[in-house]
Structure 1
Amino acid sequence: MYPNGSDLSLVLTLHSLELPEMSIYPAFIVGLVAYLIILLCNVTVIFTICMNRNLHKPMYILLLNMLINDTTGATTFFPQLLYRIWSQDRSISYPACFLQGLFVHLYGGASHVILTAMAYDRYIAICSPLRYGAIMTTNKLVRIITGMWIVNFIIIFVLFCLLMPYKICQTYMAELICYNPSLMKLMCEDTRVNNSYGLFILVLYHCISLFVVAFTYIRILITCVTNKQSDAKIKAVQTCGTHLVVFLFLEFNTFFPLIAHRSENVPAHLRRVFSVSILVFPPIVNPLIYGFKTKDIRQKILTCFKRKIGNF
């Protein structure tokens, strides 16, 4: 047993990446390129939205929040991964592990609330287009964004505060990253309170987001079927299709690893793959399907790029 006072100096050991010696440098290059692509794509769209006033609309402001969140999530994971690949060092201090877990959960929770807010925004835009400006005012948008960040932070902060009083019994963590269920397995004492609160959060995020998205999609589809304008139907289908793919991927990838920790029948390597994929694929895919695929943003990026080329 490790005394509570030594937690700050405690060093944990993460699960091995199991990379053959010949593949260390190729793996490092692949990881570095993936992280640079994430930064380039997300920062490009973020900069484009910030610098163009005609993109300061609710849909794009919510997208901006998503991309900032994705960049934060990827940065929580990739630098540590690249260091581990390069140095083959599996150790991480307990405070660093605790902080990584906090940011991983903040990222996951924020992804849910942002996608839920985006579903509501699209519902208003498609089902009540004439009232959209009156409903999604600047003040209401600010309240939505501020509220979702504050609520998400409080819920996740409480989750990790519940871990602080416990003593740590072991230093090996059978995961590639740190997050709440893996940290709880290091604790000596009964963590039923943490488990109960964790399940409450799991149900809260998933049930609310599923309900809102299901409700808005059903209403959008009804509007799409009853609306005889073909362009409105195409717009609705495109909006629903891209959002639904991203949302379902997030739902499964956040739900599966957390449930897998509570079952002995799920292979550990499968749990590790899904727990890491949520920090890799959305930050790569989201700026592509939400940013570069969106006509207004794509045109602004191309205009800026052509202007830069013309200056040389």
Structure 2
Amino acid sequence: MENGSTIRKDLELLGLEEIEGFKYFYCPVLSVIYLCILILSIVIVFVVLANPSLHEPMYILICNLALNGIFGSSIFFPKLLMDLLTSTKTISRDGCLTQSLFILFYVYLEIMTFSVMAYDRYVAVCHPLQYATLMTSVKVIKVLIGSSLVLFILLLVSILLTMRLTLCGTQIKNIFCDNMSIFILACTDTTVNNIYGTFITIMITCFFMLIIVFSYVRIYIVCLRLSKESRHKAMHTLGTHLINFSIFLLGFFFVAIRHKFGPINLPVSAQVGLCMPSFVIPPLMNPLVFGVRTKALKSKMVLPFKKGGCTSKTPAPN
């Protein structure tokens, strides 16, 4: 590691040097991807908010996923594009810590939303008579807001613990900042950071994963006892959720692999390649999959086009 980072305030993002030579390829491609994410997600949010019939727990949760996709991709794409266009390869330490906090919040907000969605489907399939009282829109909104606040506080503590460290290096082998990449540059004791980081990662991830696994297993067991038509409907919904959750896990897996091999001199290009999917695949695929496979949402999304088509076919008066 480079010495003297206590004097130098800026940190170097080595990943930007790695891809700068291809910036005229990356900039248009990343701009199109970001624009697609924004358009698809905003359409989902607008359709849900504009239609009172969709003000139900499941659609509120889909809307939350879309909003989180906008949030997560907006942490990543605009800065990356600006850095490539201006050939900037550094970031201030405060900016790096802020980006790290928002990235952590985006990841855990995603898995939290999926866990609430899994529980919502569990109640709907396994306890249909109690669904109207157990799962209401107001309760779901309160759970989302309350869980988000708790997550933000827990993650903020992690960032504050990193902030107190003295760094002896300035080079981050990535195109963005994350908490792990910062505190491995420290030349002071990071035991507290490691213990706290491991604790909240295991606690949060295991808690949400247990809810998801329990809910989907129970749904599958109940589906086996349903009539053919009811089973098909339940399995279609379950399949949609599992597809999207698998997409998220794929991105999460890439980040986990990167952190596992990061300290072992993994090439910068490989680290960039492992991290990129987590900001591209889930935000892009979530609105696509839910928009196509959720019947009520799909019908509301295509309704304006149908109306437009009908209007254009109406004969003009003589």
Q: What is the TM-score of this pair, normalised by structure 1? A: 0.90
Contact kept? 1:38, 1:284, Cα under 8 Å: yes
CA shift, 1:138, in A, is 3.6
Which piece of structure 1 moves more, 300-309 or 239-248?
300-309
- Partner amino acid, structure 2, of 1:236: A
In structure 2, the residue matched to 1:132 is: 131
In structure 2, the residue matched to 1:236 is: 234
Which piece of structure 1 moves more, 178-187 or 40-49?
178-187
**Cα displacement string for residues 60-96 of structure 1 (whole angstroms, at most 9, x for unaligned residues):** 1111111111110000000111123323321222222
CA shift, 1:139, in A, is 3.8
Q: Separation in 1 of the partners of 2:251 and 2:213?
A: 18
Contact kept? 2:248, 2:278, Cα under 8 Å: yes
- Using a 3 Å threshold, how does the CA distance of structure 1 residues 217 and 193 change in structure 2: closer, same or farther? same
In structure 1, the residue matched to 2:243 is: 245
CA shift, 1:251, in A, is 3.4
Aligned residue for 2:12, secondary structure, equals strand
In structure 2, the residue matched to 1:119 is: 118
- Partner amino acid, structure 2, of 1:50: L
Q: Separation in 2 of the partners of 1:11 and 1:265?
A: 24
Q: Separation in 2 of the partners of 1:251 and 1:168?
A: 32
In structure 2, the residue matched to 1:27 is: 26
In structure 1, the residue matched to 2:273 is: 273
Contact kept? 2:254, 2:278, Cα under 8 Å: no
- Partner amino acid, structure 2, of 1:160: I
In structure 2, the residue matched to 1:286 is: 286
The aligned length equals: 306
Contact kept? 1:106, 1:153, Cα under 8 Å: yes
Unaligned runs of 5+ in 1: none
Q: How does 1:182-197 map to 2 (within 5 A)?
A: 182-197=181-196
Contact kept? 1:177, 1:276, Cα under 8 Å: no
Does residue 69 (structure 1) correspond to residue 68 (structure 2)? The answer is: yes
**Cα displacement string for residues 189-219 of structure 1 (whole angstroms, at most 9, x for unaligned residues):** 1111111111112212221222111111111
CA shift, 1:20, in A, is 7.0
Q: Separation in 2 of the partners of 1:90 and 1:309?
A: 49
Contact kept? 2:125, 2:219, Cα under 8 Å: yes
The two structures, once aligned, show a CA RMSD in angstroms of 2.2
CA shift, 1:245, in A, is 3.0
Q: Separation in 2 of the partners of 1:256 and 1:190?
A: 28
- Using a 3 Å threshold, how does the CA distance of structure 1 residues 67 and 20 change in structure 2: closer, same or farther? closer
CA shift, 1:293, in A, is 2.7
Aligned residue for 1:162, secondary structure, equals helix
- Using a 3 Å threshold, how does the CA distance of structure 1 residues 234 and 96 change in structure 2: closer, same or farther? same
CA shift, 1:100, in A, is 1.0
- Using a 3 Å threshold, how does the CA distance of structure 1 residues 248 and 303 change in structure 2: closer, same or farther? closer
Q: Separation in 2 of the partners of 1:187 and 1:194?
A: 11
Q: Separation in 2 of the partners of 1:56 and 1:131?
A: 18
In structure 1, the residue matched to 2:140 is: 141
Q: Separation in 1 of the partners of 2:132 and 2:234?
A: 18
Contact kept? 1:181, 1:258, Cα under 8 Å: no
In structure 1, the residue matched to 2:215 is: 216
Unaligned runs of 5+ in 2: 313-318
Q: Separation in 2 of the partners of 1:50 and 1:63?
A: 11
CA shift, 1:292, in A, is 3.6
> Share of identical aligned residues, percent?
34
Which piece of structure 1 moves more, 78-87 or 261-270?
261-270
